[in-house]
Structure 1
Amino acid sequence: MPEHGSVNSLASTLQQQLADALSAALPEAGHADPLLRRSDRADFQANGILALAKKLKGNPRELAAEVTEALPASDLIKDVEVSGPGFLNVTLTDRAITSTLAARAADADRLGVPVNGSAGTTVIDYAQPNVAKEMHVGHLRSAVIGDAMVRILEFTGESVVRRHHIGDWGTQFGMLIQYLVEHPDELDHRAAAGDEASEGEAAMSSLNRLYKASRALFDSDEEFKARSRDRVVALQAGDPETLAMWQRFVDESKIYFYSVFDKLDMEIDDPDIVGESGYNDMLEETCRILEETGVAVRSEGALCVFFDDVLGPDGNKVPLIVKKTNGGYGYAATDLSAIRDRVRNLKADTLLYVVDARQSLHFKMVFETARRAGWLNDDVKAHQLAFGTVLGKDGKPFKTREGVTVRLEDLLDEAVDRATAVVREKAAKVGLSEREIVENGRYVGVGAVKYADLSTSAVRDYKFDLDQMVSLNGDTSVYLQYAYARIQSILRKAGDAKPVAHPELELAPAERALGLHLDQFGEVLAEVAAHYEPHKLAAYLYQLASHLTTFYDQCHVLSDDNPAEVVENRLFLVELTARTLHRGMALLGIRTPERL
């Protein structure tokens, strides 16, 4: 039985009845899987009997007939037909569809979606910008995909710890800090108080200016270069003045990061930002453990881990370098220390890294090293949710005309401008105020950018095409947002008619198709959470909106010709569709305005 509030899907109930019938007809089959799937020939098709008959050397059609006989009489199944070599085509009763949806509708918060009983603790490492550097389009994917996975996993019952592993350590800080010591006013800036966007812009422009000036001096002035290198040593030794200067860079960068994440409609909390520097105190111990256990060995003065399957072009093994010959630590030492911290202190069962696919080899080596050291094992697993590159319309990595990587905030501003224009075109018809136009423009623009990212399988590259993203046609968030707003409009026009389920009514084909799709929401979420595939949720929502469009074409909701109970039942179907769209979009981090 599902726990309180959760609803067994039609598919899972049918699966159980078929499995019981299989066991009854064929006790020797044990717990065989009927292999149930949705079908265009009926509501569902079960194909598991073929393989079973082969295994037991029986006739599949005869076996299928026996299973059909063994099915109990119930309100669930209307018809079972044996087709082809032994498939079962199953049609459900209209009553079962409407009753199940009514149970979902009664669960206000979760629409009957169960909480995963075997949920644990996942640490998600995502949205990892670099201190003193602008965020660009490459940072978009980690932030958007990671944010969606946090929401989805939490909804399915996982305990989630967010980690933003920002780049806040390294030799470049010697140059930056030294320049600030010699030009102490360079980070001062003024912005409109309380305006997060302009504060962020001001912080970034002063950081940018300082970065360029210090880089130019570093490249042209040998004495400044020497002072910068001394400053790196002071930073690593924990010199208080140097650390205080370093902290200023981190704080300024955070003002900027928060302004960009705010534009992205994402919540980032300060305690969740634990940069590379957060693991400095563990690096030496991590290296010592790896060396003492024999996981890492000395090679040409460096501390390395070797792998049989990681070879260079010359056929020699390419190591993961944990500690360099000069005594400095590589990224691997930091990443391995972070794994130790997340497993030991944060009590993680799963570590999920939302990181560019180009870093896949690095993480493969890091995870394997952690397994050899015993920090990862059968109970504690690490997984890289690798994502592809953002491409321009020309199919090449996305750059400006000058060949510079596109700034993330410029991109978001343009998306919002385009979306606001689209919203404005229809605003008069709906009677939107200027405030609503601006707010909806933001929700539609940011939603368009997120959805384009999330509706593509993460590991694939995708083309960034704003014209397509804010289009009302096709697989876009705007199409889904309009579908939601249209339902709200119908519900407002319904007057005294209320959404009420009527299980006694026969359903039209478009009502059945919409109802069966609505019932799959929980199963889709479970699959998305298990395999870290948010694009499957986007695909489900797009199909839901498409079913809704067909439903409108074939079934008039508020027609005077309809009996009252038909109107109520159709209002019930569209209202549950709206709630499912709203919940699904929210899990992707996208807002659904009430009026568009």
Structure 2
Amino acid sequence: MNIQALLSDKVTQALVAAGAPADSEALVRQSAKAQFGDYQANGVMGVAKKLGIAPRQLAEQVLTHLELDGIANKVEIAGPGFINIFLDPAWLAKQVEAALADERLGVAPVKPQTIVVDYSAPNVAKEMHVGHLRSTIIGDASVRTLEFLGHNVIRANHVGDWGTQFGMLIAYLEKMQNEHANEMDLSDLEAFYREAKKHYDEDAAFAERARAYVVKLQGGDEYCREMWRKLVDITMSQNQKNYQRLNVTLTKDDVMGESLYNSMLPGIVADLKAKGLAVESEGATVVFLDEYKNKDGEPMGVIIQKKDGGYLYTTTDIACAKYRYETLGADRVLYYIDSRQHQHLMQAWTIVRKAGYVPDSVSLEHHMFGMMLGKDGKPFKTRSGGT
């Protein structure tokens, strides 16, 4: 039951009975302070002015016509003519019991849509930081609400499980296994990531081996795939413990890593070239967007393939949107990602629309949140340690 609407009707009827015009508004609002009751009717002053009588006089007449027996246990006039309404706790308890008897709480089911919700999105070989936790909690609240409304919701945990850093991680995992021959938990992996980066920066032979492993991994080498899978599994098993502890509904079946879209990337680049959207520029493949200008006022170039043949996050996000429409059948896609990624997503989706991969009828939405900053006013950096 909408209590505010019920009270508005009752007060309006009393106003009209007291001589007010039929279109008078009761202006019933929840009271800001407990001493003013549960609700307050503020419409008397405006009506009294039209009628040319004192507001308090009209308020007294309204009370003689106001029928709130069994609903309110106290009604009083305050100030120049406000009407304070104190609800009867026994009546209110009955309304709560009636609402709880309906498992839908009076909310009618909607026409169902297939809605993909992209949230949480941790990185491999790192613990989730506060940004991942915020995305996780906001996203899970959203999917629960959408499911309650009757939608078919697909949870998409877009895990960063692909890219150049994996050569470095695989090379270091190999080194650690050779030296220690035991599994790691994620708290070790946090230090593991920093040590891998340190070796990459300081040891030329290690860096060369790491770069070779990237090529092998992306080429489907069985050994590199096995090591990569081990890193992903260690990370996600720890993340799953966190989800369960937080009562978050994500499971391992909801993981959709960047690697899922890897096979689509060459075809997307070729297709964007064929459609005249992508061109060669200084050895790289670039889409120039008139919608975004650089500092010289020229169309901004968005790289989708580097000159060494590597792909970028933009390419993956184009493939991701295409997959969610074509394969998952999305009517709507919601992304819970921090505000720094907004322009990146808008550029990727502009390309998606221009290429015709996702029609305008399918909504692509970035529901962004801000950042938690350190004392220096900058985002925390996990890779440098100590956070």
TM-score, normalised via structure 2 length: 0.74
| Candidates 141, 144, 148, aligned match of 1:151 | 144
Name the CA shift for 1:231/1:38 in 2 (closer, same or farther; >3 Å).
Answer: same
Higher relative contact order (CA 8 A, sep 6+): 1
What is the aligned partner in structure 1 of residue 114 from structure 2? 121
What is the aligned partner in structure 2 of residue 482 from structure 1? none
Name the CA shift for 1:255/1:101 in 2 (closer, same or farther; >3 Å).
Answer: closer
Counterpart AA for 1:153: L
TM-score, normalised via structure 1 length: 0.50
| Candidates 306, 326, 330, aligned match of 2:289 | 306
CA distance in 2, matches of 1:132, 1:154: 32
| Candidates 146, 150, 161, aligned match of 1:168 | 161
Kindly report the root-mean-square deviation, in angstroms, between the aligned alpha carbons of the 2 structures: 4.4
Larger-Rg structure: 2
| Candidates 225, 235, 238, aligned match of 1:253 | 235
Q: What is the Cα deviation at residue 89 of structure 1?
A: 7.4
What is the aligned partner in structure 2 of residue 10 from structure 1? 3
Q: What is the Cα deviation at residue 35 of structure 1?
A: 8.3
1:24-39 matches, cutoff 5 A = 37-38=29-30
Whether the 8 Å contact between 1:136 and 1:405 is mirrored in structure 2 is no
Q: What is the Cα deviation at residue 272 of structure 1?
A: 0.5
CA distance in 2, matches of 1:126, 1:239: 30
Q: What is the Cα deviation at residue 226 of structure 1?
A: 2.4
Whether the 8 Å contact between 1:218 and 1:224 is mirrored in structure 2 is yes
Whether the 8 Å contact between 1:124 and 1:351 is mirrored in structure 2 is yes
Counterpart AA for 2:286: L
Counterpart AA for 1:306: L
Higher relative helix content: 1
CA distance in 2, matches of 1:18, 1:344: 54
Deviations 1:69-90 (A, max 9, x none): xxxx9989999x9x99xx9979
Q: For residue 387 of structure 1, give the secondary structure of its aligned residue in structure 2.
A: coil
CA distance in 1, matches of 2:172, 2:288: 37
Q: What is the Cα deviation at residue 348 of structure 1?
A: 2.0
Name the CA shift for 1:155/1:237 in 2 (closer, same or farther; >3 Å).
Answer: same
Q: Kindly indicate whether residue 219 of structure 2 is the aligned counterpart of residue 237 of structure 1.
A: yes
Structure 2: gaps spanning 5 or more residues: 14-19, 53-57
Q: Kindly indicate whether residue 273 of structure 2 is the aligned counterpart of residue 280 of structure 1.
A: no
Q: For residue 318 of structure 1, give the secondary structure of its aligned residue in structure 2.
A: strand
Q: For residue 274 of structure 1, give the secondary structure of its aligned residue in structure 2.
A: coil
Name the CA shift for 1:404/1:90 in 2 (closer, same or farther; >3 Å).
Answer: same
Counterpart AA for 1:344: E
What is the aligned partner in structure 1 of residue 248 from structure 2? 266
Whether the 8 Å contact between 1:75 and 1:93 is mirrored in structure 2 is no
CA distance in 1, matches of 2:21, 2:360: 36
| Candidates 343, 346, 350, aligned match of 1:364 | 346
Q: For residue 390 of structure 1, give the secondary structure of its aligned residue in structure 2.
A: coil
What is the aligned partner in structure 2 of residue 106 from structure 1? 101
Deviations 1:207-242 (A, max 9, x none): 345434443332233333223222211111112222
CA distance in 2, matches of 1:117, 1:36: 29
- Tell me the matched-pair count: 364
Q: What is the Cα deviation at residue 375 of structure 1?
A: 4.0
Higher relative strand content: 2
What is the aligned partner in structure 1 of residue 16 from structure 2? none
Q: What is the Cα deviation at residue 180 of structure 1?
A: 3.9
Whether the 8 Å contact between 1:120 and 1:158 is mirrored in structure 2 is yes
CA distance in 2, matches of 1:373, 1:405: 44
Name the CA shift for 1:404/1:239 in 2 (closer, same or farther; >3 Å).
Answer: closer
1:126-525 matches, cutoff 5 A = 126-181=119-174, 184-185=177-178, 188-189=181-182, 202-208=184-190, 210-300=192-282, 301-308=284-291, 310-391=292-373, 396-397=377-378, 404=385, 406=387
Q: For residue 355 of structure 1, give the secondary structure of its aligned residue in structure 2.
A: coil
Name the CA shift for 1:399/1:179 in 2 (closer, same or farther; >3 Å).
Answer: closer
Name the CA shift for 1:128/1:100 in 2 (closer, same or farther; >3 Å).
Answer: same
Name the CA shift for 1:305/1:122 in 2 (closer, same or farther; >3 Å).
Answer: farther
Name the CA shift for 1:205/1:44 in 2 (closer, same or farther; >3 Å).
Answer: closer
Q: For residue 328 of structure 2, give the secondary structure of its aligned residue in structure 1.
A: coil
CA distance in 2, matches of 1:10, 1:273: 43
CA distance in 2, matches of 1:15, 1:384: 38
Q: For residue 270 of structure 2, give the secondary structure of its aligned residue in structure 1.
A: helix
Name the CA shift for 1:113/1:227 in 2 (closer, same or farther; >3 Å).
Answer: same
Whether the 8 Å contact between 1:187 and 1:206 is mirrored in structure 2 is no
CA distance in 2, matches of 1:281, 1:266: 31
CA distance in 1, matches of 2:238, 2:70: 56
Name the CA shift for 1:305/1:269 in 2 (closer, same or farther; >3 Å).
Answer: farther
